[in-house]
Amino acid sequence: MLGQFFSPKSVAVVGAAREPGKVGYGVLQNIIDSGFKGRIYPINPKADAVLGLQCYSSIKAVRGKVDLAVLAIPRAAVLSTVAECGRKGVQGIIVLTAGFREVGPEGAALEKEVLSVARQYGIRLLGPNSLGLIDTHTPVNASFAAGMPVRGEISFMSQSGALCTAILDWALKEDLGFAKFISLGNKADVDEINLLDAWAEDPHTRVIISYLEGIGEGRKFMQAARAVTKKKPVVMVKSGVTAAGSRAVSSHTGSLAGSESAYNAAFKQSGVIRARSVEDLFNLSVAFSFQPLPRDSRLAIVTNAGGPGIIATDEAERQGLRLATFARSTIDKLRASLTSTANVYNPIDVIGDARSDRYRVAVDAALADPGVDALVVILTPQAMTEIEATANLVVELSRQYGKTVLASFMGGVRVEPGVRILREGSVPNYEFPEEAVASLGAMYEQRRWIEKPVEQPMSFPVRKEQARRLLVSAAADKRQTLGDVEARGVLTAYGFKVPTAMLARSAEQAIGFAKQIGYPVVLKVVSPEILHKSDVGGVVVGLQNDEEVGDAYETILARVRRFMPKAVVWGVEVQEMVTSGKETIIGLVKDPQFGHMLMFGLGGIYVEVLKDVSFRITPLTLSDAREMISQIRSYPLLAGVRGEKPVDIDAIVDALLRLSQLAEDFPQISELDINPLRVRERGQGAVAVDCRLAFAPDGLVEQVGASGRSPLQEQVAAS
Amino acid sequence: MLGQFFSPKSVAVVGAAREPGKVGYGVLQNIIDSGFKGRIYPINPKADAVLGLQCYSSIKAVRGKVDLAVLAIPRAAVLSTVAECGRKGVQGIIVLTAGFREVGPEGAALEKEVLSVARQYGIRLLGPNSLGLIDTHTPVNASFAAGMPVRGEISFMSQSGALCTAILDWALKEDLGFAKFISLGNKADVDEINLLDAWAEDPHTRVIISYLEGIGEGRKFMQAARAVTKKKPVVMVKSGVTAAGSRAVSSHTGSLAGSESAYNAAFKQSGVIRARSVEDLFNLSVAFSFQPLPRDSRLAIVTNAGGPGIIATDEAERQGLRLATFARSTIDKLRASLTSTANVYNPIDVIGDARSDRYRVAVDAALADPGVDALVVILTPQAMTEIEATANLVVELSRQYGKTVLASFMGGVRVEPGVRILREGSVPNYEFPEEAVASLGAMYEQRRWIEKPVEQPMSFPVRKEQARRLLVSAAADKRQTLGDVEARGVLTAYGFKVPTAMLARSAEQAIGFAKQIGYPVVLKVVSPEILHKSDVGGVVVGLQNDEEVGDAYETILARVRRFMPKAVVWGVEVQEMVTSGKETIIGLVKDPQFGHMLMFGLGGIYVEVLKDVSFRITPLTLSDAREMISQIRSYPLLAGVRGEKPVDIDAIVDALLRLSQLAEDFPQISELDINPLRVRERGQGAVAVDCRLAFAPDGLVEQVGASGRSPLQEQVAAS
């Protein structure tokens, strides 16, 4: 895929320049220097030859086929050149030229036009405002970057061209190999999703790393990422602070669900490893491209110094790795061969005066132990230390055993020759032991992701049509929110338990319903015009007997008459008062990038003050639902502490999955809060006590019920 | 201070060897090579000369004065050699020899003997098991490390000798200067406290960095650190995982108060900056030694690439730094001089094709702006980038303005010459912009610490003698815990409000007391033998009237007779039932290193499940108390959320300070939990509802009250 970019047979450089320092010179020079084996066509109407190659006055003047055109021309000429490329049958264009969307609305309009012409001809377009791309295996360097990395198995995409140049320069210094190196520019056409798809199948790419500032189509990204992350690790830096309050919010979920939460959830659900920094990105890329993944989390450490061993142990704990417990035979072997003051338990301390022979014994014994999945070898340059010999044996044994081996040869000048041997032997070396252990932590995370079974979202039998009718009727009323009764109707249609409720039209009827339901009850005014019932005194809770119900009925009507004299009142609802069960909140919001996202948390202050919530993009799998419950800090309150019985966690899982299904069925829903969802003891289920739902009426067909009553009235009557 | 180590006039190397590779050769060679200007005396009975210097058969054979002796001899000879040094009048000894405490009890015993002999002669001793020390200003290199760093202003102490060698090697590669470099070894005598004291006054030391695995005397350490951190930054890596459950705990506070909490509190209270990793340690040391502290937190960023600018902005937010808002004139200046596509707001983006002239305009304008305290200059090596010229102007302008300037010239090969210019010009450069901003974050933290007023712990007028009597009487009863009544007595003596309570000896009396106190009340059995009253049914809460009190009295006595028929019962306490106010917990524990430590948190699940607590070492200052309240995550619940009124935070502050004073007055108290401390609305105070106190009777004089009654009975009668 995208073969026109990565393995073209012929490349034209439109705007090929004769003056060193110009972009059109640099890119041509790079293509030539990269050893590109196909045809190269410099295009420049004012020159006969550039850099020793025959020059053409235009794309159409080229006689042969042109697979890829690189545009290094003024902005004004881009549109017509793309059209010309189209007519010539070019399949891919890289627009190096800047001055498009990144400079404002006028540039954005031009970018759109350029894209539209490209699409018309079926041309794929990289950029504009791209630095170009490099493929070390083809090889081709169609960029104006200085230098080309050595061949390797890491592929890098970046939304920042400048970061490409910096990282390229850094790779040259560190001698780190890359397979593909691509500057995405403005992503008018070719984007991160296309590249994930392409690199999933690329045999030269073993690790994908990327720097992104934003993701265009969240859902497609997740789909593409899921397909590749099970095969090869994808590590990303996602930068960009969310402007606070950039989104209108009207619910708890909305106010907590920032774009960061969405990215974190999306990355987690699609197996993308999020690097905290550019440095991390590189530490991890080296680990993944050099070494096999550990089978499990049991780490052995070999060191010639106690301190760094402790530092590594501390980091292992932070990373959730376990220090391996050695087999009896391993300990005996170590004790027999190491000096008496050595520590033969994990971390193995071969002591400061160790030469390479002691390292060999320790590394060999650790790797041979069946209870060890990975090894970190630490070396400090002491008087007796044989740095090169040790590096050689680490490389040799890492190959022999095939287990994950990382090194931290600490220091600078003296350790340098050892570090080189390690690098050439594909053992990643880190200046500090924390980095080695942290990289191993990410490798173990990838191992767990790979072994996690692929799940399909769960699907329940629901009454979708019932929910749709309620939304349609509200849309017909020109509303974008559902009332209590309606929202409850939607939830029951999707299998939620809600409090029993009946609509009374007189005090007597209210008392009768209250008796049926059983005390205590709640009374609430029902009116399509009153959204905030409590504000007008339209809700009375905790009613214990007939008299209180009768009084409350009249009080509510009197208050409503006073505060909202013109409101149409359909009646007063008598509702079961649910007081048992633990309060939780389930919310649904719509993220601009990723669409529907579910939130879970414990009710009240846990959400509002402690912000102890978790997020997942819909649709949810069973394990998504389970994980989002167990990852909140206050989870022990659900699982049971201080002698309390555990709540019905399966009922929460069920509620999350049903809400996920509702979200998938109705993209129109913009926000939904079930607050509280009261969760009873295990086996006793959960009740959605209160629910708010907002939606955009897009695509909902307006219709009126056959009875002639408004659908809301029908629903009320049916409830 | 410690001049015998850092500026000796004469040094003897006992065990000076003629064979390269031996420690006794290496250290002598290092002293000679370091350019040491004093006298050097090799001691070796089997040689006439070593490395061209006349050799002596023993220390006493030296005719002149010996300030410092370095021992590179077998372990068996150390004790007698130290004695010989003592007789000769040597003032300082470095014991390079290993095999002491680190190898077991036998070595520990020998170490103790060696120390005792040294003390007898007034000799200060570094080590044993030390790598030695380096002072680049004297200069002297009395270590067996390979190489000596260039002169600089960073002083480093390490509990790991191996880490010294690694860091030295790293410093040589990075060309980083050090003032002093010391391997602490086993810290038999000279320790981190001595060095903090010495380096506080050292004119060559501008920054102190250290790697420690443990701190011996926590209180003295804090005192020493406080004295130095106000003058120069102290950055430490403290490693070492706490063995879980290594301490017997019997209270909430105890179970939460790990050694990590104590170290974090101690560092915070004494201004020590805790580095998260060895890498951090160095990043910060470079920043502190090269650049002045920022006056405030307003950061400007200049970059030639958007992406890295965003990365830096993200990190600034994490670090609590503010992006500076430029003055109108600054923006005008930038707009007039930069290219039209440049971003003239913060971060200033000079755009990828910027040469050094644009960087000059931007850096100059940013530094000239009075609203800017610090600047981070980011550079990516693009085609037009003038790396060296830009580095030069950054150095020049950083000197001209004297504001904090850090750089991130990103890349490897191409940026290297620029990085060198920056380093020589004392502008720290970081491979990644996050590191530059994080280092600035630490510099700002140091600035705030320096400007924080020095406070003395507060002292309240209390009835210390009353508290002492209660402890003494319990000790006389061979108890190590106080009963309810006693603990309350201690608290009231220190000015706490406690629930009103009276001891009844009949049901009638109980009813009378209950009327006096006001309903509802609680009844509790009072017996010196019943510690867990609830377990025997000795507590009844929520009593609303005379009848209930009468019944409860009889019920309690009946239960106690059944479950503990032999217990002496002094009566039943009638206690005010405090139900108003928010539940908080204040606890006191004793850390093995740092002594008494206070804990604060909200009651119940906030402490038990969410572990949302804060710690401070006693004695507390006013701001310590305030900060430990406001730093908990659930603080908004105290400050008032969801329309609730704020609680009386001053009352919590008061309680913490009084408890701190109690802890200082009675080192015998091992654990104390006030759970709950019920805190009412602002101005309404707090009540210590329940209290448990455990103590060790050390040093409490046993005494019996003058009345002949036991002190507890006296107290009960008086309450």
Residues in chain A within 8 Å Cβ distance of B381 = 146, 165-166, 169
- Number of cross-chain residue pairs from A and B with Cβ atoms under 8 Å apart: 215
The predicted pLDDT at position A678 comes to 96
- The answer to whether B600 touches B631, Cβ cutoff 8 Å, is no
The predicted pLDDT at position B345 comes to 92
Indicate the residue type of B305: A
Helix (H) or strand (E) holding B170: helix B161-174
pLDDT band of A248, cuts 50, 70, 90: very low
Q: What are phi and psi of B661, to 5 degrees?
A: -65, -40
**Number of Cβ atoms within 10 Å of the Cβ of B452:** 12
Which residues lie across from A479 on neighbouring strands? none
Q: What is the pLDDT of residues B227-257, one digit of tens each?
A: 999 999 999 998 875 443 333 334 445 555 5
The answer, yes or no, to whether residue A250 has pLDDT greater than 70, is no
The predicted pLDDT at position A707 comes to 45
- The answer to whether A523 touches A572, Cβ cutoff 8 Å, is yes
Nearest CA in chain B to A412: B170
B670: its two tokens: 């091992």
**Chain B nearest C-alpha distance from A271 (Å):** 23
Helix (H, G, I), strand (E, B) or coil at B263: helix
Distance CA A273, CA A292 (A): 17
Q: Print burial letters for A385-417: b (CB count within 10 Å at least 16), e (below 16).
A: bbbebbbbbbbebbeebebbbbbbbbbbbbbee
pLDDT band of B214, cuts 50, 70, 90: confident
Q: Which comes out higher in pLDDT, residue B479 or A123? A: A123
Placement of tokens 């990643």 in the chain:
A428
Tell me if A634 and B160 make a contact (CB, 8 A cut-off). Answer: no
Distance CA B661, CA B588 (A): 11
Distance CA B248, CA B241 (A): 17
The predicted pLDDT at position B715 comes to 45
- The answer to whether A182 touches A133, Cβ cutoff 8 Å, is yes
Q: What's the rounded mean pLDDT across residues A94-123?
A: 94
Q: What's the rounded mean pLDDT across residues A372-390?
A: 94
Provide the 8-state DSSP code for B14. E
B530: its two tokens: 């019943």
Closest C-alpha to B375, from B309, B462, B446: B309
CB-nearest partner of A307 from B102, B162, B174: B162
Distance CA A573, CA B210 (A): 70
Q: What's the rounded mean pLDDT across residues A405-415?
A: 94
Indicate the residue type of B453: P
The answer, yes or no, to whether residue B701 has pLDDT greater than 70, is no
Residues in chain A within 8 Å Cβ distance of B612 = 610
Interface of B with A in 150-209 (CB under 8 A): 158-163, 165-174
Note whether B608 contacts A: Cβ–Cβ < 8 A. Answer: yes
For all residues of chain B together, what is the average pLDDT? 91
Indicate the residue type of A597: M
Cα A582 vs. chain centroid, distance in angstroms?
Answer: 31
Distance CA A391, CA A386 (A): 9
pLDDT band of B307, cuts 50, 70, 90: confident
Residues in chain A within 8 Å Cβ distance of B162 = 304-308, 352, 380, 382
Q: What is the pLDDT of residues B58-106, one digit of tens each?
A: 999 999 999 999 999 999 999 999 999 999 999 999 999 988 998 889 9
CB-nearest partner of B634 from A305, A610, A642: A610
Tell me if A169 and B636 make a contact (CB, 8 A cut-off). Answer: no
The predicted pLDDT at position A297 comes to 96
Residue A642, phi-psi category: left (phi > 0), alpha (psi -120 to 50), beta (remainder): left
Q: What are phi and psi of A110, to 5 degrees?
A: -65, -40
Q: Considering only A368-382, A517-531, B435-449, which range has the smallest mean pLDDT?
A: A517-531
The predicted pLDDT at position B359 comes to 97
Long-range contacts of A82-87 (CB under 8 A, 24+ apart): A82/A114, A82/A117, A82/A118, A82/A123, A82/A125, A83/A117, A83/A121, A84/A58, A84/A59, A84/A60, A85/A14, A85/A59, A85/A121, A85/A123, A86/A117, A86/A118, A86/A120, A86/A121, A86/A123, A87/A60, A87/A121
The predicted pLDDT at position A253 comes to 53
- The answer to whether A270 touches A225, Cβ cutoff 8 Å, is yes
Indicate the residue type of B295: R
CB-nearest partner of A165 from B279, B382, B433: B382
The predicted pLDDT at position A456 comes to 87
Provide the 8-state DSSP code for A619. S
Closest C-alpha to B528, from B479, B472, B469: B479
The predicted pLDDT at position A243 comes to 43
pLDDT band of A532, cuts 50, 70, 90: confident
pLDDT band of A339, cuts 50, 70, 90: confident
Placement of tokens 């990395």 in the chain:
A149
Tell me if A211 and B169 make a contact (CB, 8 A cut-off). Answer: no
Nearest CA in chain A to B408: A166
The answer, yes or no, to whether residue A332 has pLDDT greater than 90, is yes
**Number of Cβ atoms within 10 Å of the Cβ of A247:** 16
pLDDT band of B532, cuts 50, 70, 90: confident
Is the previous residue joined to A697 through a cis bond, with omega within 30 degrees of 0? no
The predicted pLDDT at position A60 comes to 94
Tell me if A160 and B305 make a contact (CB, 8 A cut-off). Answer: yes
CB-nearest partner of B146 from A163, A170, A383: A383
Interface of A with B in 329-388 (CB under 8 A): 341, 352, 380-384
Tell me if A410 and B166 make a contact (CB, 8 A cut-off). Answer: yes
Tell me if B413 and A169 make a contact (CB, 8 A cut-off). Answer: yes
Is the previous residue joined to A128 through a cis bond, with omega within 30 degrees of 0? yes
Q: How far from each other are the two terminal CA atoms of chain A, in whole angstroms?
A: 56
Nearest CA in chain B to A308: B163
**Number of Cβ atoms within 10 Å of the Cβ of B15:** 24
Distance CA A491, CA A475 (A): 18
The answer, yes or no, to whether residue B287 has pLDDT greater than 80, is yes
CB-nearest partner of B380 from A166, A413, A434: A166
Q: What is the pLDDT of residues A457-509, one digit of tens each?
A: 888 999 999 999 999 999 988 888 888 889 999 999 999 999 999 999 999 99
Q: What is the pLDDT of residues A607-633, one digit of tens each?
A: 877 889 999 999 999 999 999 999 999
Q: What is the pLDDT of residues B112-165, one digit of tens each?
A: 999 999 999 999 999 999 999 999 999 999 998 888 999 999 999 999 888 888
- Compute the half-sphere exposure of residue A132: CA atoms within 13 Å on the CB side of its CA: 28
Helix (H) or strand (E) holding B558: helix B546-563
Tell me if A314 and B239 make a contact (CB, 8 A cut-off). Answer: yes
The answer, yes or no, to whether residue B42 has pLDDT greater than 50, is yes
Distance CA B193, CA B593 (A): 13
Burial of A177 (0-12, 13-18, 19+ CB in 10 A): middle
Domain annotation for chain A: domains and CATH numbers: 3-205 (3.40.50.720), 291-451 (3.40.50.261)
pLDDT band of A710, cuts 50, 70, 90: very low
Distance CA A417, CA A431 (A): 14
Helix (H) or strand (E) holding B589: strand B582-591
Closest C-alpha to A214, from A166, A260, A270, A282: A260
- The answer to whether B591 touches B239, Cβ cutoff 8 Å, is no
Provide the 8-state DSSP code for B324. P
Distance CA B588, CA B262 (A): 12
- The answer to whether A233 touches A288, Cβ cutoff 8 Å, is yes
Helix (H) or strand (E) holding B156: strand B151-158
Tell me if A170 and B26 make a contact (CB, 8 A cut-off). Answer: no
Q: What are phi and psi of B104, to 5 degrees?
A: 135, -175
Q: Which comes out higher in pLDDT, residue B465 or A259? A: B465
Kindly tell me the sign of the dihedral angle through the C-alpha atoms of B282, B288, B291, B295: positive
Q: What's the rounded mean pLDDT across residues B6-32?
A: 94
Placement of tokens 């959830």 in the chain:
A265
**Chain A nearest C-alpha distance from B668 (Å):** 31
- The answer to whether B715 touches B489, Cβ cutoff 8 Å, is yes
Nearest CA in chain A to B644: A605
Q: Considering only A422-436, A677-691, B241-255, which range has the smallest mean pLDDT?
A: B241-255
State the alpha helices, DSSP H only, in B235-337.
252-256, 259-269, 278-290, 306-319, 328-337
